[in-house]
Structure formats: structure tokens, C-alpha cells
Structure 1
Amino acid sequence: MDHTDRRNIELSLIIPAYNESAIILRNVEEIEQWMGQHQPDIDYEIVVIDDGSTDAMGQLIDERAKTDPRLKTLHHNGNRGRGRAIRSGFENSAGRYVICLDADLSYGPDHIPALLEPLKTGAADITLASAYHPAGSVSNVPFSRALLSRWGNRVLSVGLRGKFHTVTCVVRGFTRDVLDHLELINDGKDLHLEIIQKAELFGLRVVEIPAHLKWRDRDRGRKRKTRIVDYIPFLSMSGTIASHLSYNYVLRPGSILNIPVVGLLAATLIGVLTIIYAFGERLINLPGGLGPTKLYQALRETLINGELTLLLTGGALVVSMVFIAFYFASQQNKKNYEELYTLLNRINIRLRELQEKKNR
């Protein structure tokens, strides 16, 4: 990314937005007023990415940008996803530090200093706003949605070795050096997980900042509920949940496969012990002394009478072996992916260095 043609901006505030015409101008103004009052010495820009809005939001923000030198707008031809909008913001911003905010300001502008300070002092390469941090808080969010989000983040955190409390929040801070060297590809909300995964792969310092998530009591530009599933948080978020779980599996295959493997092996063990117990009981109850004929008869009766148990036990064992093989194959794929990504990223860095030398 070439930022040499722009003025020396310290901070870029990135806002991905889709159909937020009801609130976008008001929130941009709120950010600018807050920055003027609390961060007057920071040279900053606001980059709003219109992700293919159909409610004239793009025109509104373009009109304001004509008289607002701090405001820059980008437009996607269609709705390409939150991840792609954020990446467009990264690519078209100029600040030495970048903070991504949500369009509805559910995390208010007062989070900016806390996200920015660790980046400026060198204590962090990436900062995460975390409402589910022990010192964080949530208010004015429907209970069912907040509960689903909190537990969803706990599950996803397992794929990241449980180091973070909130991994899906859009509100984050970055140094420019990190953004220039991380190769990001996700267009959807999985970008949030991809960033943490790749940051950890390169040993970058990722710091969680306790945050306050608050839905505001005003028109937030939400989508209208037109289907029954829109009224049920789990169903309305099913696509996002499935996508995140799939990515969680990529991050750490064992986090999903451990449960079925352990369960199937436990079922196999119980089945085997049941068959052994039944065999021993028949062996004791059959008349005559112990010999090959008695052993054969006891085994035959055990297998005939326990046909269903034997079938279930064998099936559980076979399926568990399939899962175990799949687990090791997935671990190898993960290792190969990380090695390939690391190699390609180093090649890209070297190419940039050579290009910079050539341009001097």
C-alpha cells in the first residue's frame, strides 16, 4: 500500500457501513465532536466504507465529505461483506494507527484512547475491544442475543487457546506496520478470527481492552424483520454461527473433534464391557466343567443375544477411528497452511522491500 501521496496522518478511523443512512451522518459528527474535545492534538481521518448500500447512504456521506476535509468515503458496487469493507478501509487509509469502529457506535468514541495508547507505546500491535472481558460490560442488548453472543465467543475462543474473551467484535486498533504485512483474505465476519489467527502465527502482541457494549435507544438502521426466523436470535444468526464454527475448526480441529471422539470411544468401551460381562455371566450359568465346548456355547449365546450391542459397539469404534483419522489429517492440513502462509508472507514482504528500494 502506498501512502506517500497523503499528508502525515496519525490516526485513521475506519467505519464499515451498510444501509445506515438513518444514523451515519449523526455518528460521524459525534465522533468528530468527541475527538475535538478529548483528542484535539491528534491529526486524524475518518474513512467510511459504503458496502453497496441501497438506502442512499453513499450519497449522504459523499455530500458531507465535500465540506469535511477529515472525511473520506469509499464505495463497493455491491454488498461484499463486512470483512471486505474493513479490508478496503485498511487499504485506503493513511494513518500510522488504525482503529475500526462500528457504524452504530455501539462502542462509543470514548474507547478510542484505550485502543490507541497500547499501540503508541509499543505495548501492543493489535488491540481488541472486549465487552466480555471480566472488566467489560454489556447494556441495553436483548438478553437472548447477548447470551448467545457471549457463549459463542467462549466457544470460538477455544480455537484460539482461550486467550481472549471477545473475538468477533469489529472494534479494534492496529499499527500500520501490522496492516502492511498481514495478508488478509476473508470478506465476511470471519475476518475477525483470521486477524487473530495470523497475528498469533507471527507472534504479534494482541491486547484485549475492557469495553462497554451498548445498543442505543434510537433508530439504529437495523434491517426489517420480514421472516419468522428474524425474531429468533439463534436462527437469524445461524449463517454467522455456522461460518464461525467452520473457521474455529480450521483454527483448532481438536476443539470440535474431541467431543465426538471421546463420546464414541466411551460408547465403545461401555459396549465391550457389557459384552464381557454377559459372556462371563453365561459362562458361570452354563452346566458342566470349563472347556472348549462350554466357552464356545457361552460366546455364541452372548453374541446372538447381544447382537444389537455388538453392532452398536462396532459401529461406534469404526466411526471413532474415522474421526481420529480426520483429526490427524486436519492437523496436518493446518500445519501445511501455516507454513505456506508464512512463506508467502515473507516473499511479499521481501517484494515490498525491493519495490521501495527501486522507488528511492
Structure 2
Amino acid sequence: MDMDGGIILSLIIPAYNESSIILRNIEEIEGWMKENMPDLAYEIVVVDDGSTDAMGQLIDERAKNDPLLRPLHHKGNKGRGRAIRTGFSGSRGKYVICLDADLSYSPKHIPHLLKPLQNDQADITLASAYHPDGSVSNVPLSRALLSRWGNRILSAGVQGKFSTVTCVVRGFTREVLDQLELINDGKDLHLEIIQKAELFGLRVVEIPGHLKWRDRDRGRKRKNRLRDYIPFISMSGTIASHLSYNYVLRPGTILTIPVLGMLLIALLGIMLTVYSFVDRLIESPNPFGLMTIYVALRETLIRGQLTLSISVGSLVISAIFIAFYFASQQTKKNYEELYTLLNRMNLRLKQLESEKEG
């Protein structure tokens, strides 16, 4: 990444088909920066992720007369993660902050995300509406609840350190962006960043944020199927993707519940079988002996075949999940070791290239 020494801050906005709001929001950011941070040299990098609504032409036209605006384009829709990564590589600031195209987190968050980076108190900053001091407004209740609880579940994959792990609005130092080798093209990039930051012991600070949907009706746009009206189902792809990545981050988080559930079912089945056997043994009119035990056991097994089958099946499924857990832990360990090695090699190559050019 080439860094222009005159630019301190790069504001990255990944955007797709936002022609109705993008120019207005760029003007709002520039107005806010002029009023509140007038001495800070900055740029706005808008990444057009293959928009089909002429948004790309709008930002290109504005950029002709706006030296603060730096438009970048994808030829097709590559995904939010790819757009953010394009913004990272195409920006020039010493510090980088990502914003939503709809400014659901207002420009007021910029100094709060930037200050810990400038003061060397953090390598990455996260805006969090679900922080104890954060807040949410004008978001449909079903969407807000799904997002809040989804973030709680996903947070378990990073040891529950953060209240929000899926938000776009974050701040980074240039050194961190040069260090992290990111590969995700989708929304899992947010989880990947936190995972790799933890791997390298980077300082990640969560900043209280205020999430406010400016257009409450935006969730109703482009709904042409029944599933689009049901939040959980309409977001099923994103949910499945995040849960899969969470499984990679911390296999035990996903597997603990099914393993405990299967073991509980097996335990209940075994207890019912034992109770039935003891009851038949006690109620048997025959004198206690090996034959009485045999008859009671035989009747218990014959009449309790379904219970026994469920118990054995539950134990087998539990064993499979446990095997998955250990295999996943080993895979995770191998991945982290390989990533660390490759990252060190990459940093060394960059260092050698710099020395050669110098």
C-alpha cells in the first residue's frame, strides 16, 4: 500500500446500489469534518461494488470537482468484504476508518474511533451499539433482537470479549492493515479481522456507538418473496455463514450444545431402562435368582427397544460430535500456525523489498 504522507485519515465507504443516498452522505461527512475536524487531512474512499444503479457514475462525476473524494470500482458485485479490502489497499491515510454507506453510525463516531489509534492505545477500534453504553434507535424490533443475540452468540467465538463483532464501522492503523493478510470477500471479513487480531495479540478497543436507521423503511425494499418478510429466514445465508465461521474460530462454542443435548437424552434413556428393569425385578412373583434377573432383563430390553435405540443412537451421535471437535481443534491449530508462518514470510519479503528499493 502506498501511503501519501499528507493524508492522515482515510474514510472508507463500501457501497452497492446506493445512488439515492451516496452523494448526500458524502456531503454530510465533508460538512461534519469541516466543522469539527477542520485541520485533519483526510480522504473519502468510496468503493463501488459493481453497482447497477449508476452510483459509480455519480461518484466519478463528483470526484472531478471534489479533491477529498476517491472513487474505486469493482466490475461486478464482489461482496462487502472484498469492497472493504479494496478500500484498504486503495487508501493512503495513516489511519483508516470504515463507515456504512447509509451512515447508520453517524460521522460523530469518527473522532471516538480515531483517538485511541492516534494515542497508541489501540491497533483496531470497533463501534458497538450493543456496548453497555451503546444504543439502538429506529431499527425494527425483530431485526434489532436478531442482531443483538446473533452478536452475543458470535462473540463467544472470540471469548466473549466484544459486544458487537459484525459492524462495518471500525478504525485501523496502517501498520495493522499492512500486517493482516485478509481473504474474505463477504461479511465474514468482520470476524476474520478479529480472529487474526487476536492471533497476533493486537489491541482491539470497543467504542460505544449509536446505531440509527435513517430510513426505517429500507428493510422493505426489494422484497419480492415471502421469505424476505421474515427477518430470520431472509438473513439465513448471513446467519449460516457467520455460524460456520464461528465454528472455525471456536469449535466448542457450536458443538457443546448438541453434545450435551445428546448425552442428556442418552442418560434419560438409560435411567428409564434401569428403572424399568428394577421395577420388573421387584414386582416379579418368582423368587429372586439368576432366572428372575434374566426374565426381567429380557422383558425390559424387548419392551424398551425404542428407548434403548434412542439412547445408543444419542451416544453414537455424541461420539461423532466429539470427534468433530477434536479434529476441528487440530485443524484450527494447523491453520493458525500456517497463517502465522506465511504472514511472517510476507512481512520479511516486504522488508527486503524496502531495503532493496532504499
The correspondence of residues 210-249 of structure 1 with structure 2, limited to 5 A, is 210-217=208-215, 223-249=221-247
- The answer on 1:43 being equivalent to 2:41 is yes
The aligned residue for residue 2 of structure 2 is: 2
SS at match of 1:321: helix
The correspondence of residues 263-274 of structure 1 with structure 2, limited to 5 A, is 263-274=261-272
Kept after mapping to 2: 8 A contact 1:50/1:57: yes
The aligned residue for residue 79 of structure 1 is: 77
The normalised TM-score by structure 1 is: 0.97
Could you tell me how far apart the structure 2 residues matched to 1:152 and 1:174 are?
24
SS at match of 1:15: strand
The normalised TM-score by structure 2 is: 0.97
Shift of 1:221: 10
**1:31-75, CA deviations, whole angstroms, 9 ceiling, x for partnerless residues?**
111101100111001100000000100001001101111110100
The aligned residue for residue 88 of structure 1 is: 86
The aligned residue for residue 99 of structure 1 is: 97
SS at match of 1:109: coil
The aligned residue for residue 313 of structure 2 is: 315
Shift of 1:307: 1.1
SS at match of 1:208: strand
Shift of 1:298: 1.5
SS at match of 1:235: helix
Quick one: structure 1 residues 219 and 237, their matched pair in 2 at CA, closer, same or farther if it must change by over 3 Å?
closer
2:324 to 320, 323, 326: 326
Could you tell me how far apart the structure 2 residues matched to 1:273 and 1:226 are?
51
Q: Which amino acid aligns with 1:276?
A: V
Kept after mapping to 2: 8 A contact 1:20/1:221: no
Shift of 1:161: 0.9
SS at match of 2:133: coil
Kept after mapping to 1: 8 A contact 2:140/2:216: no
CA RMSD of aligned residues (A): 1.4
Q: Which amino acid aligns with 2:62?
A: R
SS at match of 2:171: strand
Could you tell me how far apart the structure 2 residues matched to 1:150 and 1:58 are?
33
Tell me whether 207-216 or 288-297 shows the greater mean CA deviation: 288-297
Q: Which amino acid aligns with 1:129?
A: A
Quick one: structure 1 residues 219 and 302, their matched pair in 2 at CA, closer, same or farther if it must change by over 3 Å?
closer
2:146 to 129, 132, 148: 148
Q: Which amino acid aligns with 1:227?
A: R
The aligned residue for residue 277 of structure 1 is: 275
Could you tell me how far apart the structure 2 residues matched to 1:18 and 1:224 are?
14
**1:72-116, CA deviations, whole angstroms, 9 ceiling, x for partnerless residues?**
010000000000000000001010000000101010101000000
SS at match of 2:158: coil
Kept after mapping to 2: 8 A contact 1:104/1:220: no
Quick one: structure 1 residues 84 and 223, their matched pair in 2 at CA, closer, same or farther if it must change by over 3 Å?
farther
**1:208-245, CA deviations, whole angstroms, 9 ceiling, x for partnerless residues?**
10000111148869842222222221121111111111
The aligned residue for residue 108 of structure 2 is: 110
The aligned residue for residue 200 of structure 2 is: 202
Shift of 1:178: 0.2
Kept after mapping to 1: 8 A contact 2:138/2:216: no
Quick one: structure 1 residues 8 and 222, their matched pair in 2 at CA, closer, same or farther if it must change by over 3 Å?
farther
Could you tell me how far apart the structure 1 residues matched to 2:29 and 2:223 are?
29
The aligned residue for residue 188 of structure 2 is: 190
The correspondence of residues 123-202 of structure 1 with structure 2, limited to 5 A, is 123-202=121-200
Quick one: structure 1 residues 40 and 220, their matched pair in 2 at CA, closer, same or farther if it must change by over 3 Å?
farther
The correspondence of residues 278-357 of structure 1 with structure 2, limited to 5 A, is 278-357=276-355
Shift of 1:287: 3.1
The aligned residue for residue 66 of structure 1 is: 64
Q: Which amino acid aligns with 2:202?
A: L
Q: Which runs of 5+ in 1 are unaligned?
A: none
1:258 to 256, 259, 273: 256
Could you tell me how far apart the structure 1 residues matched to 2:285 and 2:217 are?
83
Could you tell me how far apart the structure 1 residues matched to 2:294 and 2:229 are?
62
**1:272-305, CA deviations, whole angstroms, 9 ceiling, x for partnerless residues?**
1111111112222223333222221121111111
Identity %, equivalent residues: 74
Kept after mapping to 2: 8 A contact 1:22/1:221: no
Kept after mapping to 2: 8 A contact 1:21/1:221: no
Quick one: structure 1 residues 218 and 162, their matched pair in 2 at CA, closer, same or farther if it must change by over 3 Å?
closer
- The answer on 1:20 being equivalent to 2:18 is yes
Kept after mapping to 1: 8 A contact 2:139/2:216: no
Quick one: structure 1 residues 227 and 288, their matched pair in 2 at CA, closer, same or farther if it must change by over 3 Å?
closer
Q: Which amino acid aligns with 1:8?
A: G
Q: Which runs of 5+ in 2 are unaligned?
A: none
